[in-house]
Structure 1
Amino acid sequence: MSLTLFALTGLVVGCWATFLPESFYSDFPGVRPGYVSVDGPYNQHLVRDVGAMFLALGALTVGAMIVRTTTVTRLTGLAWLVFSVPHAFYHFTHLHVFQPLDQALNVVGLSALVLLALVLVVLPAKVSGAGGPARSRVP
């Protein structure tokens, strides 16, 4: 389940930012006022780079879903954790640009991504169903 959530996040956000950067800048997350546009001027290069990074994380996650080993699941969780911790920290220290509801949504959503990534690192087989040959499992 966690891998599915990360795969969808990576692929949806990645495609949106990579292929429709102006829409991503103006409209993300799509259900509330633009979260990206309140934080500075539009930069197509930066938005497309962020999209490519999300696509890379999405591709890694899809690979983990196919390979289904504990080691690959842990590495996928680690990659998401390396991204999610500084990303969350930035937003937590810049909440003032958002309305109160959006502040809460940012804290909850970004915290959930950090916690889910941590769970994939610590408990990969129990959360994602990762298995595979015994030689591929990490104790």
Structure 2
Amino acid sequence: MNPTATWLRAGLLALAALQTLVSVWQYVFPRSFYDDFPTVSLDPPYNEHLLSDVGGLGLALTAMLFFAAGVMERRVVLSALTGYVIYAGTHFLFHVRHFDHFSLRDAIGVGTGLGLEWALALVLLYVAWRHHRAAV
């Protein structure tokens, strides 16, 4: 591997490690993150910062999916879909555990919609894996 690729890989791994630490903390222990991460608990109940950050992450995922669809390169497609499967799965799991204040109709609608989104992502990941495996 050439020196530029080595530095690029090291940088990608460093960013991934930092993002993993923060993301796991946010997802697994959200109350701890809110209470213990400096300045987060200072935000008001309506948290524009949180919503704009999540929206930005969604736009990043969107860009990855569009790029994957454009280039149709095996690794790009598989990595974009893997990221989307994780996002859609964690989003679905959160909602199905928090239907306390939902009407039955809303709970069924949200649960079904998010479940179908996750299922579609899983099917696409499987199809992409099989397609690219057969092409090798």
Measured on the aligned residues, the alpha-carbon RMSD in Å equals 1.9
Q: TM-score, normalised by structure 1?
A: 0.58
Distance 1:77 1:87 in 2: 15
Per the alignment, residue 72 of structure 1 pairs with 76
Instruction: Provide the secondary structure at the position in 1 that maps to 2:46.
Output: coil
Measure how far apart 1:86 and its partner are.
Answer: 1.4
How many residue pairs get aligned? The number is 90
For 1:120, the equivalent position in structure 2 comes to 124
* Distance across 2 between alignment mates of 1:56 and 1:123: 23
Letter paired with 1:93:
R
- Counterpart of 2:18 in structure 1 is none
Alpha-carbon distance, 1:51 to partner: 0.3
- SS for the counterpart of 1:97 is coil
Query: Partner of 1:96: helix, strand, or coil?
Result: coil
Contact 1:81–1:117 (Cα < 8 Å) also in 2: yes
Q: Name stretches of at least 5 consecutive residues in structure 2 with no aligned partner.
A: 1-44
Q: Distance in 2 between matches of 1:76 and 1:83?
A: 11
Q: Distance in 2 between matches of 1:104 and 1:92?
A: 9
Q: 1:101 matched to which residue of 2?
A: 105
Measured after TM superposition, the shift of residue 125 of structure 1 is 7.3
CA distance in 2, matches of 1:72, 1:108: 29
1:81 CA drift (Å) = 0.9
Q: Name which of 92, 97, 103 aligns with 2:96.
A: 92
> Counterpart in 1 of 2:85?
81
Taking the aligned partners of 1:69 and 1:113, their CA distance within structure 2 comes to 23
Which amino acid in structure 2 is aligned with residue 82 of structure 1? I
Note the 1:3-42 alignment, pairs <5 A. Answer: 41-42=45-46
> Structure 1: 5+ residue runs without aligned partners?
1-40, 131-136
Q: Kindly indicate whether residue 48 of structure 2 is the aligned counterpart of residue 44 of structure 1.
A: yes
Which structure shows the higher helix fraction? 2
1:38-94 deviations in Å (ceiling 9; x for gaps): xxx410010001100110010001101110133322221110111111111110000
- Look up the equivalent residue of 1:50 and give its one-letter code: V
1:69 and 1:115 map into 2 onto residues whose CA distance is: 22
Partners of 1:72 and 1:112 in 2: how far apart?
23
